[in-house]
């Protein structure tokens, strides 16, 4: 890393030459390694082989995964916000346990409810990287929802 320092009244520029820059020969020998992109929802990248009793990483992953709720509780958000956000610990079909957010107002989820989990984090809840899809499996749609109904599994009001 290059650093400059100022000494006394006169402004001398002193360069720190301990920068970690590779030589041409080092680049020829090893080359630059491209950075691997980390998944923002890693639990959707795996399937479970029950015959071999192990998890297999899929190159593409899945858009959603089914799971069973183990705990349904509330959580308080990070600093500037204040609320009781509804979350659930979900055991997925690939035997991974994740924390998922329950969107919308009101829900009927409890311990053994079967839910569909999609990716997508909640910005003010640390460690919550998944959302539960409303209106599928045991998760009911949001009642009395008139706008953005497709996101909450709400039927069209008559």
Contact 24, 30 (CB under 8 A): no
Using alpha carbons, list the distances in angstroms from residue 109 to 15, 116, 128, 132, 156.
62, 12, 17, 10, 22
Neighbours of 139 (CB within 10 A): 24
Distance of CA 9 to the CA centre of its chain: 52
Q: Give the whole-angstrom CA distance, residue 64 versus residue 33.
A: 31
pTM recorded for the entire structure: 0.79
Whole-number percent of the chain with pLDDT over 70: 89
Give the burial string for 70-103 (b: 16+ CB within 10 Å, else e).
Answer: eebeebebeeeeeeebbbbbbebebebebbbbbb
Cα(36)–Cα(29) distance, integer angstroms: 21
Which domains does the chain show, CATH number per domain? 64-146 (2.40.50.140)
pLDDT digits over 32-69, tens only? 999 999 899 999 999 999 999 999 999 999 999 999 99
pLDDT in tens, 61-110: 999 999 999 999 999 999 999 999 999 999 999 999 999 999 999 999 99
């Amino acid at each position: 890393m290059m650093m400059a320092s100022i000494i006394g009244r006169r402004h001398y520029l002193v360069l720190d030459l301990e920068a970690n820059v590779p030589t041409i020969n080092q680049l020829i020998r090893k080359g630059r390694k491209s950075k691997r992109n980390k998944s923002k929802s890693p639990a959707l990248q795996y399937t479970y082989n029950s015959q071999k009793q192990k998890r297999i990483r899929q190159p593409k992953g899945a858009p959603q995964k089914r799971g069973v709720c183990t705990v349904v509780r509330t959580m308080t958000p990070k600093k500037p916000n204040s609320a009781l956000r509804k979350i659930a610990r979900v055991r997925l079909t690939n035997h991974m346990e994740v924390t998922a957010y329950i969107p919308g107002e009101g829900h009927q989820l409890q311990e053994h409810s079967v839910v569909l989990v999609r990716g997508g984090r909640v910005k003010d809840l640390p460690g919550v990287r998944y959302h539960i899809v409303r209106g599928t499996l045991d998760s009911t749609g949001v009642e009395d929802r008139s706008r953005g109904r497709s996101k909450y599994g709400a039927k069209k009001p008559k």
